[in-house]
Chains A and B, each alone.
Chain A
């Protein structure tokens, strides 16, 4: 099982100090967080993609290429890549290039994006969101698997005799996850291709996550990719920790109360009860995370959101220390002890698998 972090890359004023980081500071903090994740032996770092303030990460492969050059083990991923408003040809090219430079340590998570104006800024219409996700991905899937593509669709210029270069590293395309909070169509799409399905598992009650994952698993089996309990599932999670539970709640509350997503709404306690948000001791985070398995089954990837809502970098790095030093080692141990036999790990590029197999002391086996 893989453990890592994902970040949206928001520039948010710290509500306790009134200080707003510059874009440069935020971008550099994202790099620093990724390097720390590598140092602590986490498996994955995934960056968001946004094209509007207050978010900085508009150019994911630039960021990922830079991090790739400074790391050796991390799998570099996205959370999410906008399959609706990016040209699928450019996604095919950019991520194949990144794959070569990162020795195969690359996968992607596709998402639609829910910011209305971004669609027209890129010449699209949010009302076609699902259709764009289907058509663009169908083309991307072919571009990585067929050397010469003839193609025609509704949303982009037709292609005749097009070859996307560079070809995927060793002929193996990056593994793809499809992320969606509430659209059953996306779970269906992930199942159809035998790709992974990721639920952010942050903003909504666990029942929604459960229903989406359950649909994906049933349909994965239906399309002949293997038994439902061996489908490839990833989850998000949102945590804030201090050794002492009450300290964690006291420190995180002002950030929660002003957070762009839920600020002004339910109390921290209500939100933590109704969603997977966990604010408390590392042991509470371990227990809560282990409980995810009870409603989605054995799964392959767990990503945590820890750097948002204006939390200062120093605090985020402390969170990472607890995550890498206490939480993840315990989760690796506990999850592997209870995982059903036959459940595969998250797919890795053969080169990464070979590197990991050759290493005996690292953070691990593919599973």
Chain B
């Protein structure tokens, strides 16, 4: 049986949090669908709350603590990601953004990602499309089409949202992510310390690259 690693990043603040509740529902659905596709996934959840101080320290010192490094390693080496956080002030929360700010460059390039969020009311649901999706587009991740937003009221109603109930949206997004994961080869991680072709080649490559830079794009 083929294997793939699924990592869930949850930026919920309470314990338990509705963010974690949504994250677990999404993870369970993706896990089930991958098993249906004859893939044996490993599922790991990273609670950013546990790394909050280390994330601040990483911003200030430039390097992660050993436990944060382990979390980062799991994320960038995953075959697929589910990211869930609360919407604060019309966007992702600071804690959610901090984690993606300290990842190594190109760490999420090509990564299948399911984006999801929680909030008090459905009025904030488009923050996923206007804030979270562009963030992952910038990181060159492969974000699946369906983003899942859960307002408090969604946990008690069925079929009220225009695009179906929360359960249906979870199922649709999970299907999109599981298909993306299942149809791709396992992701590798580039090692910058791999030996290069040589100094001459490096000079040539730099000349061809000119002055291009990621943040100018």
Chain B residues with CB under 8 A of A211: 193
How many Å from the CB of A99 to the closest CB on chain B?
A: 26
Closest to B203 in A: A134
Tell me if A265 and B61 are in contact (CB < 8 A). yes
In the bound complex, CA of A264 to CA of B56 (Å):
9
How many Å from the CB of A142 to the closest CB on chain B?
A: 15
Q: Which residue from B56, B61, B207, B213 sits with its C-beta under 8 Å from A127?
A: B213
**Total count of chain B residues near the partner, CB < 8 A:** 22
A356 adjacent to chain B (CB < 8 Å): no
In the bound complex, CA of A265 to CA of B102 (Å):
15
> With A128-B211, A134-B203, A185-B202 given, is the CB distance from A261 to B195 under 8 Å?
no
A271 adjacent to chain B (CB < 8 Å): yes
Chain B residues with CB under 8 A of A271: 61
Tell me if B193 and A184 are in contact (CB < 8 A). yes
In the bound complex, CA of A105 to CA of B1 (Å):
66
Chain A residues with CB under 8 A of B195: 215, 218-219, 222
Within 8 A of A (CB), among B34-60: 56-57, 60
In the bound complex, CA of A192 to CA of B199 (Å):
7
A225 adjacent to chain B (CB < 8 Å): no
Chain A residues with CB under 8 A of B62: 203-204
B188 adjacent to chain A (CB < 8 Å): no
B146 adjacent to chain A (CB < 8 Å): no
Chain B residues with CB under 8 A of A270: 57, 65
> With A208-B63, A262-B60 given, is the CB distance from A125 to B211 under 8 Å?
yes
> With A261-B61, A265-B56 given, is the CB distance from A188 to B206 under 8 Å?
no
**Total count of chain A residues near the partner, CB < 8 A:** 35
A16 adjacent to chain B (CB < 8 Å): no
Chain B residues with CB under 8 A of A265: 56-57, 60-61
> With A127-B213, A270-B65, A271-B61 given, is the CB distance from A188 to B193 under 8 Å?
no
Interface centre among A223, A262, A266, A275, by most chain B C-beta atoms within 10 angstroms, is A266
How many Å from the CB of B155 to the closest CB on chain A?
A: 39
A329 adjacent to chain B (CB < 8 Å): no
B196 adjacent to chain A (CB < 8 Å): yes
How many Å from the CB of B66 to the closest CB on chain A?
A: 7
How many Å from the CB of A81 to the closest CB on chain B?
A: 20
Tell me if B213 and A189 are in contact (CB < 8 A). no
Within 8 A of B (CB), among A200-257: 203-205, 208, 211-212, 214-215, 218-219, 222-223
Chain B residues with CB under 8 A of A219: 195
Tell me if B193 and A127 are in contact (CB < 8 A). no
A62 adjacent to chain B (CB < 8 Å): no
How many Å from the CB of A52 to the closest CB on chain B?
A: 19
> With A125-B211, A211-B193 given, is the CB distance from A205 to B63 under 8 Å?
yes
In the bound complex, CA of A218 to CA of B198 (Å):
12
How many Å from the CB of A257 to the closest CB on chain B?
A: 12
Tell me if A203 and B61 are in contact (CB < 8 A). yes
In the bound complex, CA of A203 to CA of B212 (Å):
28
Chain B residues with CB under 8 A of A262: 60-61
A130 adjacent to chain B (CB < 8 Å): yes
Within 8 A of B (CB), among A160-216: 184-185, 188-189, 191-192, 203-205, 208, 211-212, 214-215
Chain A residues within 8 Å of B, Cβ to Cβ: 125, 127-128, 130-131, 134, 154, 184-185, 188-189, 191-192, 203-205, 208, 211-212, 214-215, 218-219, 222-223, 261-266, 270-271, 274-275
Top 3 nearest A-B pairs by Cβ distance?
A265-B60, A192-B199, A127-B213
Besides A130-B206, A203-B62, A266-B60, 7 other CB < 8 A contacts? A184-B192, A188-B196, A203-B61, A205-B63, A262-B60, A274-B63, A275-B63
